[in-house]
């Protein structure tokens, strides 16, 4: 078992459900600690591929994806998941790049110019409306778009739920993951992300209720062992801290 948190084989599409793949990658290092990272790939009704939180680009990975369908959309779902987009956009200029306005601004603040074809906002783009619905979760300096793929009943998150496995991580990293409340198998929202999200508690709780009402079969996220089954129930537990924060809105 690797001690860097990753889920080999890396940088290859692995099937999860009909029209759904994950690409595990990493490790990425945050404050010197290795963490796993994941891209999710969905196939749209027209056969094109929709890439959520693209991980590091490589020619072999691009070739493997093209064997599944043409890459039509590159999607940055939130604040911290945009760093690999320039490589993908350079290699696949025909693909449309989508990102929240906050992500474009943050990248610019770090000297990186993204060239989005469209800005993610309250309504899904016509490119995938009726196939992928979304909700927006916000915090102080934080945004995450949560996407639900109707055909496979798959919910795709990024950082608002994590379930990293301490046994796969170095000792110190595993201890930090437990301390932050982001350890698998139960998973949860890391404590620092909770603090950011509490500023928009009411709106976030309403968005969470709508996502739970979709009853996803599986929940895929960027860091850790995702919920391959019993998705809605496990997600309800992972987000219990948010639902309990507003008792009058907690009924689903």
Domain boundaries, the chain: 13-249
Per residue in 33-80, pLDDT (tens digit) is 899 999 999 999 999 999 999 999 999 999 999 999 999 999 999 998
In the structure, what pLDDT confidence band is assigned to residue 244 with cuts at 50, 70 and 90?
Answer: confident
Place of tokens 């590091």: 56
Q: Is 196 exposed, middle or buried (0-12, 13-18, 19+ CB in 10 A)?
A: buried
Flag whether pLDDT at 142 surpasses 70: yes
Flag whether pLDDT at 202 surpasses 70: yes
Task: Judge whether 162 and 221 are in contact, CB under 8 Å.
Answer: yes
Task: Judge whether 132 and 149 are in contact, CB under 8 Å.
Answer: yes
In the structure, what pLDDT confidence band is assigned to residue 252 with cuts at 50, 70 and 90?
Answer: very low
pLDDT reported for residue 25: 98
pLDDT reported for residue 101: 94
Average pLDDT, the chain: 94
Flag whether pLDDT at 250 surpasses 60: no
Q: Which residues are paired to 96 by β-bridges?
A: 73
pLDDT reported for residue 248: 47
Per residue in 67-113, pLDDT (tens digit) is 999 999 999 999 989 999 999 999 999 999 999 999 999 999 999 99
Flag whether pLDDT at 193 surpasses 90: yes
pLDDT reported for residue 246: 56
In Å, what is the CA distance from 107 to each residue of 100, 119, 123, 217? 11, 14, 23, 34
Q: For 169, which DSSP code?
A: S
In the structure, what pLDDT confidence band is assigned to residue 141 with cuts at 50, 70 and 90?
Answer: very high
**Domain 13-249, what fold?**
Metallo-beta-lactamase; Chain A (3.60.15)
pLDDT reported for residue 204: 96
pTM across the whole model = 0.95
């Amino acid at each position: 078992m690797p001690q860097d948190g990753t889920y080999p084989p890396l940088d290859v599409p692995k099937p999860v459900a009909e029209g759904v793949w994950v690409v595990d990658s990493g490790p990425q290092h945050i404050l010197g600690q290795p963490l796993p990272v994941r891209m999710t790939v969905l196939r749209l009704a027209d056969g094109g591929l929709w890439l959520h939180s693209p991980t590091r680009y490589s020619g072999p990975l691009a070739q493997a994806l093209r064997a599944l369908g043409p890459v039509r959309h590159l999607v940055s779902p939130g604040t911290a998941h945009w760093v690999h987009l320039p490589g993908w956009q350079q290699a696949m200029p025909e693909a449309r790049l989508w990102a929240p306005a906050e992500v474009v601004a943050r990248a610019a603040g770090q000297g990186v110019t993204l060239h989005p074809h469209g800005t993610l906002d309250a309504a899904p783009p016509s490119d995938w409306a009726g196939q992928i619905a979304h909700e927006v979760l916000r915090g102080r300096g934080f945004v995450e778009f949560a996407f639900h793929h109707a055909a496979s009943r798959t919910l795709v998150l990024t950082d608002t739920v994590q379930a990293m496995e301490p046994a796969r991580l170095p000792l110190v990293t595993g201890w930090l993951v437990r301390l932050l409340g982001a350890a698998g198998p139960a998973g949860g929202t890391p404590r620092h992300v909770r603090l950011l999200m509490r500023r928009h508690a009411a709106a976030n709780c309403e968005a969470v209720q709508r996502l739970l009402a979709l009853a996803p079969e599986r929940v895929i996220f960027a860091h850790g062992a995702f919920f391959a089954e019993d998705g809605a129930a496990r997600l309800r537990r992972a987000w219990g801290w948010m639902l309990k924060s507003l008792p009058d809105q907690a009924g689903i």
